[in-house]
Amino acid sequence: MLCSPVSRGECLNGNGQYVRYTKLYGAITILPSRFIAPPEHLITRLNTFTAHSRSTSSTALWTRWTAAPVETDFSLAGSRLAGQTNPHPNALRGRSRRSVRCDLWRIAGARLGNPLSRVGNGLVPQPVVLSIGASARKLRRVKELIEANLEGDLSLKILAGKAATAALTSRACFAPQPG
C-alpha cells in the first residue's frame, strides 16, 4: 500500500498497547495492511512523544516496526523512552534525521483480551495507513449507506451523521467509480 508523504498509521506494540504515529518526513513508503484497528471507543491515549531516526532509507523505520519480533519491536512505545531521541540501535547508522510523532494508546480492556491474539500467532501486527481527512472505515460506512439508500434521502446532514462533517466536504474523499 502506498501512503502519502505525510501520513498516519497505527499498530500494537509488544505490550499490547495501541500506538498511533504520524510520519513527519516526506517519503513514499510501501506498507502492508493486515492490521485491524480496535474500535475507537475502546482506546484511550496515554501520552505522546516523538521518536527520531537517522536512517538513510525511508522504509527502514517502518521495517523495524513491521518485521521485527515482538520483544524487540516497538521499543519506541515504552513510556521510559518518552522524550528520548534515537532509541533505535540501528537508527544511528544513517545520516539524515527523521522523526515520527507517536501517540501511545491503551485499548480498554476486558472485551478485547490480549490484543496480540487478534492479529494472530504472536507476530507483530501490521500497521495500516489511514486516509487523510476521513478514515477509510468512516468513508466505507458512508458509501455503504449510500448504496443501501439510493432511493431515499441522502442529504449531507444524514451522511455527516455517519462520518465527520469535515470529511464529507473534502473532494478527495470520494474517488470516481468506474462504469
Partner 1 sequence: MTAHSYVLERRILRARQLLAQPDLSLTDIAASSGFATQSHLTFAFRKKFGITPNEFRRKL
Residues that bind partner 1 (CB under 8 A): 142-143, 146-147, 149-152, 154, 156, 159, 168-169, 171, 173-177, 179
Closer to partner 1 by Cβ: residue 28 or 166: 166
Between the alpha carbon of residue 137 and those of residues 27, 40, 123, the distances in Å are 24, 11, 24
Q: What's the number of CA atoms in the CB half-sphere (13 Å) around residue 124?
A: 23
d(C-alpha 130, C-alpha 20), whole Å: 10
Closer to partner 1 by Cβ: residue 79 or 149: 149
Query: CB 167 → partner 1: shortest distance, Å?
Result: 9
Closer to partner 1 by Cβ: residue 89 or 174: 174
Q: Which residues contact 71 (CB under 8 A, 6 or more apart)?
A: 14
Please name every residue paired with 11 in a beta bridge, in sequence order, or none if there are none: 19
Closer to partner 1 by Cβ: residue 30 or 172: 172
Query: CB 135 → partner 1: shortest distance, Å?
Result: 15
d(C-alpha 164, C-alpha 155), whole Å: 14
Query: CB 13 → partner 1: shortest distance, Å?
Result: 36
Give the residue from 157, 174, 13, 143 showing the smallest Cα distance to 87: 13
Query: CB 19 → partner 1: shortest distance, Å?
Result: 31
- What string of DSSP letters covers 67-83? HS-TTTTTGGGSGGGTT
Closer to partner 1 by Cβ: residue 80 or 171: 171
**Grid cell at residue 136:** 477509510
Query: CB 128 → partner 1: shortest distance, Å?
Result: 23
